Chain A
Amino acid sequence: MTYFRLLRKNLTRKKLRLFLTIFSIFTAFLIFGILKTFDSALNAGIELAGADRLITSSKVSLIQPLPFSHYTKIKATEGVANVTHASWFGGYYQEPKNFIVSFAVDAQSYLEIYPEIFIPQDHQENFLANRQGVLVGEALAQQYNWKVGDTFPLISSIWTNQDGSRTWEFKVEGIFSDPEEKFDTRSLMFHYVYFNEGRTGARDTIGWLVIKTESPEVNEAVSKAIDEQFANSPNETKTDTEAAFGKAFLEQFGNIGLIITSIVGAAFFTILLIAGNTMVLAVRERTNEIAVMKTLGFANGRIFTLIILEALILVLLGGLPALGFSWVLIEALKGAVGGALPPMTLTPEIFLQAIAYMVLLGFVTGGLPAFNAVRINVAAALGRKAL
């Protein structure tokens, strides 16, 4: 009998148990795949953070606007290499359910501060030259089938323009992407000048500022200097590193994400524990068979390898299809959930992490009984059988 055949025979000796164990492992890794994807989507904001970027917003709250003069004052603060600002537009396309992450920015400096936003050179030039131009993220452009040169109206849930409507016209001058997929490309940005001159209320205010410091070491000093500058003024500020800002924002969703992650994470490990336990038992049942094999002259190493391999195959049989299936489910979910959730992708990292867990599980559940099997005293094991 070849080793392969021996493996197969061992695996399939109890078909029902084989199926059930594979199924448990399948569910565990299905949960893992979906959950990890969900979790990393929630955390995407933190990964974006540049070490030398700070964010200044109103101390009262993120939505409270700041006067434009803050921009010039912060620019002159020591340790500040570059500043840009952005204002929330609250736009949607045609109907409120097509909500779009959209903001008005000081275009030139915004693109300087976020070098990860990738735009072809000619797109960038055209965008900077057209006040009514808009830069659309790749994913968003795909969703609404917008191409460079198209014009489309965007409705703001907040801002009314000169003719009394909340519909604003834009022309697509560029499509941006982020090769590292950290900047949300389901968003769009356009010129602050166009926005500010067009709107009827809150003129010459800005939403928040993004500051690039001379180096990460001066972050603390710079943020302190900025906040002190405006202390006791009608528009006090709060300055944080981009990472802290992102984390705080994430924390707002806080509990729900955390609860889902931790509860379901617990389930993942329990299901694995139970499946693992079954696998350990399955090998232990064969103690005397192993003793017979040893008597026949099978080397310890061989037996060890056989058992480990058996466990690995079992885990992979359950785990790999689960990853495939979770990918399918996530793709389906994307459509169903739409804009309600951050973009979700089952990344290669998550895939590799899952494989690592599978291998680990295989080694642990196979290793324990394999180790015992190797140590079996043949006479004792066969003797036990005789009882």
Chain B
Amino acid sequence: MTSLQQIIAITVMNMKGLRQRFWQSSAAILSIALVITVMVGFLSMADGFEKTVAGTGSDDVVIVLREGSLSELTSGFSLHQAKLLSTAPGVAKQNGEPLVSFELYVIVDLLKKSTGLSVNAPMRGIEQTSLKLRDNVKIIEGRMFEPGRNEIVVGHNAREQFAGLGLGEMISFGNSEWQVVGVFDAGGSVFESELWADAKMVQAFFNRGTSYQSVRMKLAGPESLQEIKNFAEADPQLNVEIKTEADYYAAQSKPITTLIRYIGYPLAFIMALGALAGALNTMYTSVLARMGEITTLRALGFGAFPSFVGILTESIVIAIFGSAIGLVLAYVFFDGMLVSTLNGASFTQAVFEFSVSAKLITHALALSVVIGFVGGFFPALRAARMPIADAFRITQT
């Protein structure tokens, strides 16, 4: 027999044996499956969060806040300041009008459906122009609110996550009553966690006078950000901080991304090591238990290398099998799961979705091959290297 034929013969034999040794291998399969479930579950949360929150906002829109404000929530402008800002050079124009949007950002208490406890939901007062700065927003049910009326439109994630936001429902904040007239989609961004109403109405009901909290402006070109900054710096009436919207949201999500990075990833890594040790242990035990079988084959003339490849393949197959189970579990449990958390300085709920992406699945499978390879390599090497006489003696004792 050629070496290749031997490899095939041993591999086939090992695969057939797998079925009989199923319960023996199940410890390895279980450990790998669980680690994969946990890791994929965790990473799909991290991915989902980053995609939604850190990924919100565009690069050609700037958000202007009062200097030193950590978020829209603590920022504030007078109408005069807001108007002054919109005269800045570098702001894109449409039909001669600057593309700017004066907005308010307040917190309203809503009940979270899953727990029935009240949480800080974000409510935004917007203007007609606000939509021109958010290309990806579209109404998917109902209609837009009418200016001057107590009407709100809600992001579709907000509707899923918070109670009382069904189309047509009335909802009260303090002693103001609002009707939900529409549901919008915002391209998977964090805006979908929000409730939107007419800025003027929000000013009236939340005692904000004529003040606003943030000003968004569309940039005319790549140089515009600097132009606007220079303009604001030159005017003593404007004590402001200017960032692109994308930078702003990346900064807002930092506490949670930090949490994920410093607690989540290290834990995932430790877990992977633990599983690797488990897999190695099982492979060793399994190889040792079959030392007699392996040695017999070698005594019959099978080469050391084919034995080695056979065991290694077996280990990789076990790992892939375990990880496939883990992936299915992760997909069933986590994919599309809608959750929310308090997002950093904005102090409001950000709703996001777990997403088990193709990229994650590939990574998980790659990891399982590594675990299988490392887990099988040393036991295989040991079995292949051991002098036949010694091996027989081991199996005798």
Contacts and interface: CB of A to CB of B under 8 A. Distances in A.
Nearest to A202: B207
B45 interface: yes
Interface string B5-41: 0000000000000000000000100110011001001
A21 B74 contact: no
A178 to B, nearest CB: 24
A30 B285 CA distance: 25
Interface of B is mostly: helix
A270 B30 contact: yes
Interface stretch (A59-67, A109-117, A129-137, A362-370): A59-67
Interface stretch (A185-193, A206-214, A252-260, A296-304): A252-260
Interface of A is mostly: helix
B173 A267 contact: no
A166 B263 contact: no
Contacts of B340: 254-255
B68 A155 contact: yes
Nearest to B382: A16
A28 B174 contact: no
A31 B68 CA distance: 38
A260 B277 contact: no
Contacts of A157: 68-70, 74
Interface in A216-265: 232-236, 238, 247-248, 251-256, 259-260, 263-264
A236 B108 CA distance: 13
Contact of B342 (A253, A273, A340): A253
B285 A90 contact: no
Nearest to A340: B255
A260 B264 contact: yes
A278 B281 contact: yes
A273 B349 CA distance: 37
Contacts of A341: 255, 258-259
B372 to A, nearest CB: 16
A271 interface: yes
A203 to B, nearest CB: 13
Interface residues of B, number: 59
Interface string A304-346: 0000000000000000000000000100010011001100000
A27 B284 contact: no
A31 B76 CA distance: 44
Interface string B328-343: 0000000000011110
A8 B139 CA distance: 72
A302 B341 CA distance: 55
A252 B342 CA distance: 5
Contacts of A267: 34-35, 38, 271, 274
Interface string A143-169: 000000000000111100000001000
Interface string A278-308: 1001000000000000000000000000000
Given A20-B280, A63-B347, A234-B174, A274 B31 contact: yes
A256 B38 contact: no
A21 B276 CA distance: 11
Interface in B262-284: 262-264, 266-267, 270-271, 273-275, 277-278, 280-282, 284
Contacts of A252: 119-120, 341-342, 349
Contacts of B70: 90, 92, 96, 99, 157
A254 B278 contact: no
A361 interface: no
Contacts of A63: 73, 106-107, 120, 347
Contact of A251 (B117, B271, B284): B117
Contacts of B69: 157-158
Nearest to A26: B274
B94 interface: no
A271 B278 CA distance: 7
A38 B266 CA distance: 13
A99 B345 CA distance: 10
- Among the interface residues B34, B120, B274, which one has the most CB atoms of the partner chain A within 10 A? B274
Contacts of A248: 117-119
Contact of B263 (A58, A253, A274, A333): A333
Interface in B259-314: 259, 262-264, 266-267, 270-271, 273-275, 277-278, 280-282, 284-285
Interface in A6-59: 16-17, 20-21, 23-24, 27-28, 30-31, 34-35, 38, 58-59
14 contacts: A59-B109, A60-B109, A62-B107, A63-B347, A92-B70, A234-B174, A253-B341, A254-B119, A256-B259, A259-B45, A263-B38, A267-B34, A271-B271, A337-B259
Top 9 closest A-B pairs, CB basis? A27-B274, A61-B107, A255-B339, A252-B342, A274-B278, A340-B255, A60-B174, A270-B34, A271-B274
Interface of B: 27, 30-31, 34-35, 38, 41-42, 45, 67-70, 73-74, 76, 106-109, 112, 115, 117-120, 173-175, 206-207, 254-256, 258-259, 262-264, 266-267, 270-271, 273-275, 277-278, 280-282, 284-285, 339-342, 347, 349
